[in-house]
Amino acid sequence: MVLVLILGLTGGVLGADKIKPPVIGMAFQEMNNQYFIVMKEALLEAAESIGAQVYYTDARHDVNKQISDIEDMIQKGIDILLLNPADSVGIEAAVIEAEEAGVIVVAIDAQAKGPLDSFVGSKNYDAGYKAGLQMAKDIGGNGKVAILDGIPVVPILERVRGFKDAIKENPGIKIVDIQNGRQERDKAMSVVENMLQAHPDLDSIFSVNDIGSLGALAAIQSFDQDVTIYSVDGHPEAVDAILNGNIFKATSAQFPRDQVRIGLGVALAKYWGSEKVPATVPVEVKLLTKENASGFSW
């Protein structure tokens, strides 16, 4: 898929004498999540197919660490940086530094401020909007709901915006609480426990990602309250919870392998001589419910 995309962007086959495998770096916002592990696997597979060397790092949601990670990779001589930012705004200095060093920079999954060559990511507004519409339909257009928020990167902001817009179309639904679970299972579980105590009449929760949702699921099960969950990602555990339970109702699934493959393809096209590459490549999302989640896999 990567090589097919390169041919499309460059308009033909490049001569073998011109093809030099690049050194690729990928800076992840975290690796404690199957979603990003799948991205790493796709990156390594694609890089191996072209004989490229790869470095990858885990910021653990710390933008300062991620900036340092990127500086180290620049010193190691990377030609391409695939960036999954821990903070869309805070990472700007590292993007500028990479650009000044002649590194091709493509943001993956989350937008980043600075001189990017391209951005490849899910239609995150659509993900939140679809989940919101499904929630509104399932609770009959009336009720009290909450948002389990996350870190301040563009995809999370867009998911919340999309969800809120869907809820605005249903004036009988009121958003009564918004709290940050940091997209982490344990943190989200604690946050949702507080939500349930503060709002015993809560009907449903929208979570910005599936890992947070799984923490929310544990909290709801321990409180034995009639509260449902809607989310974003398509994580295997979330799919299993949707198919085999009645609390987790839907998730807007993303396609992490496709994002990395397309992002690398765009970067390689630029590296191997294409004068123009797309500034943005949006990737579709798919709403999974009990009716269609069976067999889904990243």
One digit per residue, the tens of pLDDT, for the chain of length 298 reads: 554 454 444 444 344 345 789 999 999 999 988 999 999 999 999 999 999 999 999 999 999 999 999 999 999 999 999 999 999 999 999 999 999 999 999 999 999 999 999 999 999 999 999 999 999 999 999 999 999 999 878 889 999 999 999 999 999 999 999 999 999 999 999 999 999 999 999 999 999 999 999 999 999 999 989 999 999 999 999 999 999 999 999 999 999 999 999 999 999 999 999 989 999 999 999 999 999 999 999 9
Lookup: tokens for 197: 């105590």
DSSP 8-state code for residue 22 = P
Whole-prediction pTM: 0.86
Q: What is the pLDDT of residue 11?
A: 43
All domains in the chain, ordered by first residue: 2-122+255-283 (3.40.50.2300), 124-253 (3.40.50.2300)
Spell out the residues 6+ positions from residue 28 whose beta carbon is closer than 8 angstroms to its own: 36, 39, 40, 56, 57, 58, 59, 84
Q: What is the pLDDT of residue 6?
A: 47
Spell out the residues 6+ positions from residue 281 whose beta carbon is closer than 8 angstroms to its own: 118, 119, 120, 121, 262, 263, 266
Closest CA to 232 of 181, 191, 266: 181
Q: What is the pLDDT of residue 271?
A: 96
**In the block, which residue shows the tokens 């992002």?**
263
Q: For 188-226, how does the pLDDT look when each residue is reduced to its tens digit (9 = 90+)?
A: 999 999 999 999 999 999 999 999 999 999 999 999 899
- Distance (Å) of CA 189 to CA 150, 210, 212, 216: 13, 12, 8, 5
